[in-house]
Every structure is written in structure tokens, then in C-alpha cells.
A and B are shown apart, each in its own frame.
Chain A
Amino acid sequence: MATTTESTPAAGAKPFDIVATYNELLRSDPDLTMPIAAIEALVLLLTHSPSSTISETLDLLAQSTAHLKKAIPNPIGLSAGTDLFQRYLITTLQRPGQLGPAGDFKAIRTHLLSNGRLFIRRAKESREKIVAFGRGFIRDGCTVLTNGGSRAVASLLQKAADEEGGPSAVRFRVIYVLSSISMNIEEPSGEPEGMETVRALRAKGVPVSTIPESAVAYALGKADMVIVGAEGVVENGGIVSRMGTYQIGLLAKAIGKPFYCVAESHKFVRLYPLGQYDLPIEQHVIDFKSEEDITEQSEQPVDTSADRPIELPLCDSVDFTPPHLISALITDSGVLTPSAVSEELIKIWF
């Protein structure tokens, strides 16, 4: 736990700031996903907190989770991690024996912390498991269409390329859909999300074609399958993912190509959106304006006060792909049909 040691001194001095820790963790490790970062932040919180009873611990956990969720514009992925961690702790505590409610709290606490770390380690390993399950889907001579900057998809494709044994033995091709909106807020002209993966794949000898989102329908005829990542997998087996995934799913369904989603099982979140507009986040993708509004807005300085509800920047906006568009979910607990997600979730929660 390199991150643990890094942040410990800072936290000792002033009250532990869960949000800052979370952001810091995300920044320091590009491979870290949101749920894991959240769990890691919570484990750090526990190490720093002087709680002495179980209920105090759980209370603290619940409070900081709520705080964290409120501070982050898109808490979907994050809440998957925090809820899971909380659940994990509770079930651990309920188990009878020395570590149960009857045991010595100090022992319980150490146990919790070590378990929390174990939890993180397992979560990080899940990507390798996914690759093992998913490799069979990428066969010789096929063309894969993908989008976004999912690390799980990237590692799956790269492993598949490695498998072929070097540049000469390339046997699959990739069509990469690049978002027209830059992913980097600081420099709008920067390269779109996913370019890194494209370069890596090309370096491994995989032919990659990049297309804009508007060309998806055109290009799908040449693709054999679609593989996408997900920010969260919801209870009915649908996915919450980078804006644009839903339309790819619709097109794939219309054209009859299989649509696979790669996601770690810690991204399963207890959420049940009924449609695009039923997500628990504020995003103003559709923003009606008349000429008047635009002039008015340009005159007014941007209000940056803290009271303003956090809005999701357009580049971070997400959409919801309903389960009937998804052929299968490739996860670290196996390849699941969308309807099996709820079973997995129920297993975790009850």
C-alpha cells in the first residue's frame, strides 16, 4: 500500500479529508477505478479515525460516504465501491466468533483494516481475471468496435494482442470510436480519450482505425462485435457508461452485432434506473438556449461559489444502456447475462 504511507503524515496533522484523499488517490494512480479509490479512501479513513466501537465505526463510515458522494459530481461508480465496502464490513462483523460483535474491538479493528486491504487487492486483481474470461471472445480475424477510455477494455485488447505473439502475428483489428469532446477540461484541444490505448495497440501491431461517433452506424457493418467498458453496472443488468455508449448499443442491436460489456464486479451498483433521465445525477446535456440566454450568460461571470450544485461537465456525462441491448457482461466472476447481475448483487447484499 504505497498510497497509505504517502497520505498518512498529512492526515495526522489535520482532520482527515475524505474527498481530498479520494481525488488524490485517483490522480496518483491512473489504473485506479472510482470504486476502488473510494474503498481505499475509506480504509485510510478507518486507519486514522480513533473509533472505539463498532457502531461508531459504521456511523463514521456512513457519514463520510455520504459526504464523499455529495462532493463528487457523478457518484455512481463511487457508490458501488462504498456500498460494497460497507456491506462487506457488516457481514464480517456479523460473523460469529472472536471477530464478531462479542469479540475485542481492537482485534476487530485490525481485522477490518487488513480485510479492507485484502479487498482492495482482490479488486485490483479482478482485471486480470476479466482478461482470462474475455480473451476467448476475441477470435482470429475479427474486428472489434470499441469506444471510450475504459481500462478494462484496454487491458483486454492488449492482452489479446500479446497473446498473438508479437507484431507479425496480428489477427484482429480494432475500430476505435473517438469522442468529439475532449476529455481534458484544462486543455480542450487535447487529444480525445482513448488515444493512449490506440497507440499502445498500434505499437503491438494491431491495426486500429479511429472514427468519430457519427460514423458508428457506417462502420458497424465491418465490425464483428462491440466491446465497451462501464462506469457502473446497475441492478437490471444495464450499464451506466460514457455518453455515446447507448447509441452504439442501439445500433449494434439494429444491425445484429453482439454487444459485450467489460466490467469488474465491484462496479455493480444497487441502482435501478428506468431510463436515461432516471439517473441519480445532474447532467445538463440537453440545454435549451435562445439568443437572449446566450448573451445574458456571457455577460454574467461564472458563478463559482460553493453553494452551486455540482454539475457534471459535458465530457464526463454518462448515459444508460438498458439490458436488452447487452449480449453479455464480461466480469471477474464470469461471463454473465444481464439478468444474472441482479443475482450477483443479491448474493452480495443478503
Chain B
Amino acid sequence: MKQHQRRRRLGLRRSVGRLWHHFFFRESTLSPHHATQGPARRPSTTAIESIKMADSVDPALTSPSTTAPSQASPNPVAENSPSQSLPIRDSKSAKQPAQSEKGTSKPKDAPAASSTGGDGASDKPLTPAQLKAKAKAEKAARRAKEKADRDGGAVAAGGSAPDAGQSRPPNTPKKDAASGGASQKGPKGAPPRRGSGPVTQASTAVEPKKKKEDKSVSVFSHLYGQQRRTTVNGAAKEVHPAVLALGLQLRDYVVCGSSARCVATLLAFKRVIESYTTPLGTSLARHLTTHLSHQISYLSTCRPLAVSQGNAIRALKLAIAGIDPSTPESSAKATLCDFIDNFIREKITVADQVIAGSAVEKIENGDVIVTFAGSNIVKQTLLQAHKEGKRFRVSIIDSRPLFEGKSLARVLANAGLDVQYSLVHAISHAIKDATKVFLGAHGMTSNGRLYSRVGTALVAMSAKERAGGVEVPVIVCCETIKFSDRVALDSIVVNEIADADELVPANPPQQVTGLPDPAAFTAPPVEPKKGGKGASAAPTQDSSASARTPSPSPLANWKDTPHLQLLNIMYDVTPAEYVDMVITEMGSLPPSAVPIVHRMSTNI
């Protein structure tokens, strides 16, 4: 049953997502990424269609509730309490456009309402704080509030779901059967937060105990704070569609890599600025900043901002603040757009060329170059060196779960380079022949440490501590925009935790990197429907675990396995001693010069 429910949930979730995407694509054409993205997520002509498709995935499983076309957002609820759900659905369906924004959170309320007697569908994403307050209120006067809840409840956010579930008596009756489990899930799962998904599963397993075992790794518990947003539900109304779409792309690693994220963010902000009109009674310089901060806070709920994004945003805000209030709006906007274009060109495009140019000089004939994961700047360097006729070998070290090195390997091999590909556990072997190590960066901290994809430190250390050989120089290619004034002593205090489900290898890894999967065609018929989603890394895992049956990974049930925790951490910190050289657009530096350059590049 659990599986069924899960499937169902996924289907619904997906439909919601799709609907939104659909929406975006029509409304906003985003950067290039978007274009690629569009086709991948199947273009459904109408929102309803897409929903249906999603539903169809699990028709058998989903009892009566599945049918509801309107479910787009609140769906889970409906499932849980089939009988009551119907009316709710209707109402929702009618409301759809309006409510969709408010979001999935309603579902929780809805089921409760239905069971109890009409608490009804207040389905909006809830902010945690609001939720708690709300839950209490509900206890006191559930029934009386029925209607009120629908409207107001929306505010409460999905995060609070667990609390709500517990607090509500109405839910408990349902719990008895599958429906009970579903109802609990409903609230949580409905707002398709990635993080929430797992939680719900756990809860279903042991129904009475909501609190269950804490699945966060205690050392890193401070990093679990906020789960990544799963839908656009609950986004502030000020958030521009381009930004909404970008947020989801960031979350799904469609736009991945520090520079790419920075550029995409700036381009999205450019669109925001283009479509911005200063409200009466304010000045652009003042109001635009707050307007942007809505966008920024939305983006940061999708995925924590990268160092480069932070720096770019700071520069942009500075530029906005520097605008003379008497400047007419149109010219101010033009200035800002120019600023963004220049910024991208100077700090990233040209910087990359300069870096690649000076990094190429360090490559000599006969070198064996080790690199980790898929850094764009390293790729550029290696390609350019190859173009200049240098003969060298490349050994790519890659790691789960993102497999970023694969696309690098493909590009390099297609360009005619000699490429060896291995995973990080083969590092000691790969490093044996190495003569140089080239690394990309997510950021560099002020104590000269390198903050980059997890595994980088291991590669750097292997190179420096290689037994019985000459030291291998470790070279980092990094734009100065990635320099940060923060200090990192270890990988624990500051880091980013991704959904641990990514580690459950239920799906063929191709789906994680978005490679075309030769085996995909043999995959179960379910695939096609989900295919659209497959393009983005995140959602697939969920589906894999539940829907895809044949050989579940031993980790598939990790949430239900006592004493088992999975840690999917994104970054690590490489000590400065392991880095010989940092190549930036301002020249080659020792890691100790990072703070000086950072100061100079920000102050000037």
C-alpha cells in the first residue's frame, strides 16, 4: 500500500510541477537552459492534460480519488479521503487558477476537513511559523472555522505538515487504514518538497509515531535547516516567472555549477528589471532592491545561493543603490541591464578566457592531468590546450550521485583527447601517473581554502601525499567572483546538504546527469510518462524507489531502517596547503593571496 500511495503522490506531485512548468514556459522564455528544459518535460498542451497523464501512472492504485482533474495542487488530500474529497476537488478545480499559487499545503487541511466535516480545503503553502500557529488555532475551533480555514489556511506552509497532522484529531480516524497513512502524507507530500517526501514515508511506516527516528546525521544537523523547495507554491507574488523557473532549475541541477548559476541568476534578474515598473511614491533605487530581494529569497529556498551568486547580487545591489534617483526609469533600467551584461562579460566570460589562456601555459606535452568532476573552466582549459596541439592525457575522477565528470569525459573524448574515466574510489590508481591536477572551484575562502564539490579534497590530498613520488602540483582555476570573505576551517560548519535520496541508486545514473540512457527504452512502461521528469535529477529518485520495482536498492528503504542515516553532502573544503596555485583572471596566485585579491576586486 505504501508503494501505491507513494506512486500516487508522485504522480500528483509531478502533475503539479508540470503544470507549473507549463505555465512558465508559456509565459516566460528563460535563458537557454529553459529552452532545453522545455522539451524534456513533456509539453502538455494543457494543465489538465498533464495532470491526467500523471494520474494515469497509478490508476489502479489510486482509488476513486485519482480521477479528480482539479487536484493539481491539493491532490493528496483528495486521495486520502475519497468520499469527501470529491466536493473538495470540485471546489478546488473551480478555484484552480487562483489557488494554485497558494499551493499544496491546503491538502492537509482538506482531508482533515472532509473527515471531520468540512474543514475544507485550505490549501496553501504554509510557512512553518504560520503553520504552527495555525495548527493550534485549528485545534480550538476546527469545525467552526471550516470555511475560514480554506481561505486563510492557505498561508500556512507545507513545512508544518507533520505538526498539523498530529494535532488534528480528524486525521486519526483515517489513519486506521491506508487512508490514514495517506492523509498524513497528503499534507506533507502534497507540497512536493523534496525533503518532505522522505519524511512522509517514514511517517507512514510507523504511523502512530510521528516523530520517528531522526534521519539527519547529527554532526551535520545544523545544515538540515530548510528543505529545498519542491514547487513554486507559496512563492511570493512578486517573484518573476523567469525567477520561478530558474529556481526549479537550480534545484534540479539543470543549472549547475557556480558560474552557470551566477550567470543564470543575473540573466533572470535582467528580465526582472526589464519588466519592472517603479510603484508610485517610491524611487527605483530604493524599491527595486526590495523587489529583487523577494526574488533572491525565493531562489535561496530552491537551493542555497552559491558564493558567486552572492557576490554578483551584492554587486548588482550596489549598482542599483548607485543610481541617481532623478534618473528616468527607462534609462536607469537600461543602465542596470548594461551593468549586468558587462558584469557577466567581465567577471565570467572574459575571465574564463583569460584563465584558460594562462592555465594552458602550465600544460606541457606528455602531461597526465587529473581533474575531478566536471568543471567548466577546466574543460575550457583542456580543450584549448588540445587545440594548441599539446599532447597530454586526461584522467577524470568522478563521483556519485551527480556524475558531473561524465559530460566532461564525453566532450573531451569527442574533441579527440585521451581520456580516462574513473570514480573516486580509484583515485590512488589514477593519481599514480598524474603529473598535474586541475580543479574547478565553487568558492575560495579567505584563508585560502578551496570550497568545491565533495571529493575534491580527497583528490588534492592524494596528489600531494602521493607515496614515493614527486609532488604533483594542484592547480585551481577560479574566477575572482568566487572568492569569499568568509573563512572555512572544515567542511562541517558551512556546507550544503542535498536530498539523501539521491544516494539511493534506484535509477540508472543517466537520469541523474541527464544522459541519454541506452537502456531506458527497455525500461518499464511507466517510464515514458515520467520521462519528462527524468530530465531533471531530483524527482527521479523518488519515483525510482517506489514505482520502479524489480531490483530495489538495498538502501531503498533506508528511511524505515532503524539506525541508518544517509548523508548526501555537496561540498568539502580543501586545505590551502594542498593547493599550489590559483589561476584567476588577475593572474596566478598562491592561495594565501585570495583575501587580497578579493578585497581589491570588490573595492575598486
Given the known A-B contacts A270-B587, A274-B362, A339-B590, are A236 and B581 also in contact in the complex, defined by CB atoms under 8 Å? yes
Q: Which residues of A contact B436 (CB under 8 A)?
A: 274
- Residue A134 is within 8 A (CB to CB) of chain B in the complex: no
Interfacial chain A residues near B475, Cβ < 8 Å: 274
* A342 close to B590 (CB less than 8 A): yes
Q: Contacts A235-B589, A342-B590 known; A274 to B596 CB distance under 8 Å?
A: no
Interface string of B192-216 (1 = CB under 8 A from A): 0000000000000000000000000
- Asked if residues A342 and B589 are in contact (CB atoms below 8 Å), the reply is yes
A236 to B588, CA, bound (A): 9
Q: Is A148 at the interface (CB under 8 A from chain B)?
A: no
Whole-angstrom distance between the Cβ of A232 and the nearest chain B Cβ: 15
- A275-B473 contact given A346-B593, A346-B597, CB 8 Å threshold: yes
A350 to B471, CA, bound (A): 32
Min Cβ gap A286→B in Å is 14
Q: Are A343 and B593 interface neighbours, CB within 8 A? A: yes
- Residue of A272, A275, A349 with most chain B CB atoms under a 10 A cut-off: A272
Q: With A274-B580, A346-B600 given, is the CB distance from A236 to B587 under 8 Å?
A: no
Which single residue of chain A is at the shortest CB-CB distance from B586?
Answer: A350
- Interface presence of A323 (CB below 8 A): yes
Q: Is A235 a contact of B587 with CB atoms below 8 Å?
A: yes
Contact pick for A236, options B586, B590, B596, B597, CB 8 Å: B590
Q: Which of B541-596 contact A (CB under 8 A)?
A: 580-581, 586-590, 592-593, 596
Specify which of B475, B592, B600 lies most central, judged by the most chain A CB atoms within 10 Å of its CB: B592
* CA of A323 to CA of B580, assembled, Å: 10
Once the chains are docked, how many angstroms separate the CA of A323 from the CA of B592? 12
Which chain B residues border A77 with CB–CB below 8 Å? none
Instruction: Please name all residues of chain B whose beta carbon is closer than 8 Å to the beta carbon of A346 when the two chains form the complex.
Output: 586-587, 589, 593, 596-597, 600
Taking CB atoms, residues of chain A closer than 8 Å to B588 are 235, 272
Using a Cβ–Cβ cut-off of 8 Å, how many residues does chain A contribute to the interface with B?
16
For B587, list chain A residues within 8 Å (CB). 235, 270, 346, 349
Query: Is A237 an interface residue when CB atoms closer than 8 A count as contact?
Result: yes
Mark contacts of A211-238 with chain B using CB atoms, 8 A cut-off: 1 yes-contact digit, 0 otherwise. Answer: 0000000000000000000000001110
Check B473 against A342 for contact (C-beta < 8 Å). Answer: no
Q: Which of A305-350 contact B (CB under 8 A)?
A: 323, 338-339, 342-343, 346, 349-350
Complex Cα spacing A150 to B589, Å: 27
A342→B362 contact, CB < 8 A = no
Shortest CB-to-CB span from A56 to chain B, Å, is: 27
Q: How far is the CB of A60 from chain B (nearest CB, A)?
A: 25
Question: Is B592 in contact with A342, judged by CB distance below 8 angstroms?
Answer: yes
Residue on A nearest B592 in the bound complex, by CB: A339
CB of A82 to closest CB in B, whole Å: 17
| Contact A343 to B580, CB < 8 A, known contacts A235-B587, A274-B473 | no
A-chain residues with CB within 8 Å of residue B471 when the two chains form the complex: 275
B473 touches A323 (CB 8 A): no
> Are B581 and A342 in touch, CB under 8 angstroms?
no
Number of interface residues of B (CB under 8 A): 18
Residue of B nearest to A277 (CB): B364
Give the Cβ gap from A223 to chain B, nearest Cβ, in Å.
Answer: 27
The secondary-structure label for the interface of chain B is mixed
Q: Give the chain B neighbours of A323 by CB distance below 8 A.
A: 590
Minimal beta-carbon separation of B583 from chain A (angstroms): 9
**A253 to B: closest C-beta gap in Å:** 14
For A275, A338, A342, the residue with the greatest tally of chain B CB atoms inside 10 Å of its CB is: A342
Contact B593 A339 (CB under 8 A): yes
Point out the residues of chain B lying under 8 angstroms from A237, CB to CB. 590
Contact A342 B596 (CB under 8 A): yes
Contacts of A339 in B (CB 8 A): 590, 592-593
Chain A residues near B593: list those with CB within 8 A. Answer: 339, 342-343, 346
**Alpha-carbon gap, A349 to B362, bound state (A):** 22
Chain B residue with minimal CB distance to A235?
A: B588
Nearest-CB residue, chain A, relative to B473: A274
A88–B586 Cα distance when bound, in Å, is: 18
A347 nearest in chain B by CB position: B596
Closest chain-A Cβ to B283's Cβ sits at a distance in Å of 32
Closest residue on chain A to residue B358 by CB atoms: A272
User: What 1/0 flags go to B410-436 for Cβ under 8 Å of A?
Assistant: 000000000000000000000000001
CB of A269, distance to nearest CB on chain B (Å)? 12
- Chain B residues, Cβ within 8 Å of A349: 587
Binary CB contact string for chain A from 235 to 258 against chain B (1 if under 8 A, 0 otherwise): 111000000000000000000000
A343 contacts which chain B residues (CB < 8 A)?
593, 596
Complex-state Cα separation, A149 to B436, whole angstroms:
35
Chain A residue numbers with a CB within 8 Å of B470 are 275
Contacts of B586 in A (CB 8 A): 346, 350
Closest approach, in angstroms, between the C-beta of A8 and any C-beta of chain B? 38
Residues of the B chain whose Cβ atoms lie less than 8 Å from the Cβ of A342: 589-590, 592-593, 596
A339 vs B471: C-alpha distance when bound (angstroms): 20
**Using Cβ atoms and an 8 Å threshold, which residues of chain A touch B580?**
236, 274
In the complex, the chain A residue whose C-beta lies closest to that of B580 is A274
Complex contacts, B592 vs chain A, CB 8 Å: 339, 342
**Interface readout for B351-375 with A: 1 if CB under 8 Å, 0 if not?**
0000000000010000000000000
List A contacts of B581 (CB < 8 A): 236, 272, 274
Question: CB-nearest residue of chain B relative to A236?
Answer: B590
A255 to B470, CA, bound (A): 21
* Cα A67 to Cα B592 with chains together (Å): 34
Q: Which residue of B lies closest to A278 (CB)?
A: B362
CB distance from A58 to the nearest CB of B (A): 20
User: B474: nearest residue on chain A (CB-CB)?
Assistant: A274
Query: How far is it, in angstroms, between the C-alpha of A346 and the C-alpha of B595 when the chains are bound?
Result: 12
CB distance from B576 to the nearest CB of A (A): 9
Chain A residue with the shortest CB-CB distance to B589: A342
Q: How far is the CB of A268 from chain B (nearest CB, A)?
A: 13
Which chain B residues border A274 with CB–CB below 8 Å?
Answer: 362, 436, 473, 475, 580-581
CB neighbours (8 Å) of A350 from chain B are: 586, 600
Complex: how many Å from CA A349 to CA B586? 10
Minimum CB–CB distance for B578 against chain A, Å? 12
A323 to B593, CA, bound (A): 13
Cα(A330)–Cα(B471), bound, Å: 28
CB distance from A231 to the nearest CB of B (A): 20
Q: How far is the CA of A130 from the CA of B436 in the complex (A)?
A: 37
User: Closest Cβ of chain A: how far from B509's Cβ, in Å?
Assistant: 35
A73 to chain B, nearest CB (A): 21
A contacts, CB < 8 Å to B: 235-237, 270, 272, 274-275, 278, 323, 338-339, 342-343, 346, 349-350
A sample of 19 inter-chain contacts (CB < 8 A) reads A235-B589, A236-B580, A236-B589, A237-B590, A274-B580, A274-B581, A275-B470, A275-B473, A278-B362, A323-B590, A339-B590, A342-B590, A343-B593, A346-B587, A346-B589, A346-B593, A346-B597, A349-B587, A350-B586
Binding site for A on B (CB under 8 A): 362, 436, 470-471, 473, 475, 580-581, 586-590, 592-593, 596-597, 600
Given A235-B589, A236-B590, 18 extra CB contacts under 8 A: A235-B590, A237-B590, A270-B587, A272-B581, A274-B473, A274-B475, A274-B580, A275-B470, A275-B473, A278-B362, A338-B590, A339-B592, A342-B592, A342-B596, A346-B589, A346-B596, A349-B587, A350-B586
